[in-house]
Structure 1
Amino acid sequence: MKKIALLLALFCAQAHADQVVGVSDGDTLTVLRNGKQVKVRLANIDAPEKKQPFGARSKQALSLLCFGRNAALEAGETDRYGRMVAVVHCGGVNANVAQVRNGMAWVYRQYNHDIGLLGMEAAARASRVGLWADANPQEPWLYRKSRKAQGTSLSHAAAAN
């Protein structure tokens, strides 16, 4: 009887699963939920930006894992851009963990709620996997901050002329 209940629960869960219909980068995807597209930011991690080294590879890794598949979401809060922040499982694999373990994302220490990710990042770094093959990879949050500062200084310089 327990096996039948378990199979029924799994079937119902898959029937109502969200489908991944887009991948923006290594930590953001779009799911189709109840007929509507919802942007989802992977919790606890930060992947390289598109123009950073490994940005395209990080997006590709998340795409290979999730695109076109059903996803189970452990939703948290909504971020300042209106995206759902979630732990995402695609094909039974925790995508957040996979991105860190494969060297395709950093643990986003400022927002991390999964202490186990720190050890996975350290192991990926020690093995020089993914972005850790780079001699001095730049954290995405520092990259964004530097780009923002450059944009501000460039706009001030243009206004002065």
Structure 2
Amino acid sequence: MLCWVLSVGDGDSLKVRCPQAPHERTLRLRVAEIDAPELRQAFGRKSRQALAALCQRQRAQVEIREQDVYGRSVARVRCQGADVAQAQVRAGMAWVAPGYARGDGDLQALERQARRQRTGLWAQARPTPPWVYRHRRSR
């Protein structure tokens, strides 16, 4: 479905308005198959800026896959003709989410390439994955 991106929360979440949805609904989306640094983590703000540069105030092609535990729609998203998950991983602005990538070897290959080239967050000696960061903060 075609939507308009209203805002970018962080490197893997968006708020969109979808005219084709019932009542021209506003949806909170999480980009499927990736996990971006939290805003307070190293590269968190840069990841958000990269997603905003690609999608903010743009039309987005959205393919909803499921709902997450926070009530967001988990979706494949394309902005400006680019697959958002691939763009974020290629730029070193997100990890491929372990256990959530649906066999997309392209994403895994893009992450390996970004690691080898020390692109984005991979320029750090030992970047902390966001799921580890969230776990540490919850204790």
2:46 corresponds, among 43, 51, 57, to 57
Q: In the aligned structure 1, how far is the partner of 2:15 from the partner of 2:88? A: 17
Shift of 1:36: 2.3
Equivalent residues in 2 for 1:131-146, closer than 5 Å: 131-146=121-136
**Cross-structure match for 1:25:** 10
Bigger shift: residues 73-82 or 45-54: 73-82
Identity of aligned residues (%): 46
In the alignment, structure 1 residue 36 sits paired with structure 2 residue 25:
yes
Structure number with greater CO (CA < 8 Å, separation at least 6) is 2
Q: CA RMSD in A?
A: 0.9
SS in 2 for 1:56: helix
Post-superposition Cα deviations, 1:117-145, rounded to whole Å, max 9, x if no partner, equal 11110000000000000111000000000
Shift of 1:77: 0.6
* Displacement over 4 Å in runs of 4+: none
Higher alpha-carbon Rg? 1
Structure 2: segments with no counterpart, 5+ residues: none
Amino acid at match of 1:32: R
What amino acid sits opposite 1:24 in the alignment?
G
Query: 1:148 maps to which residue?
Result: 138
The 2-side partners of 1:94 and 1:74 are apart by 11
Select the residue among 109, 115, 127 that pairs with 1:125. Answer: 115
Q: What amino acid does structure 2 have at the position aligned with 1:138?
A: T
For each residue in 1:61-113, what CA deviation from the matched residue of structure 2 results, as whole angstroms up to 9, or x when unmatched?
Answer: 00000000000012101111111101100011111100000000000012111
Q: Secondary structure at the match of 1:52?
A: coil
Partner of 1:109, secondary structure, is: coil
Q: Unpaired runs of 5+ in structure 1? A: 1-15, 150-161
2:85 counterpart residue number: 96
Give the counterpart letter for 2:128 in structure 1: Q
Structure with greater helix share of residues: 1
Amino acid at match of 1:115: G
TM-score by length of 1: 0.81
SS at match of 2:30: strand
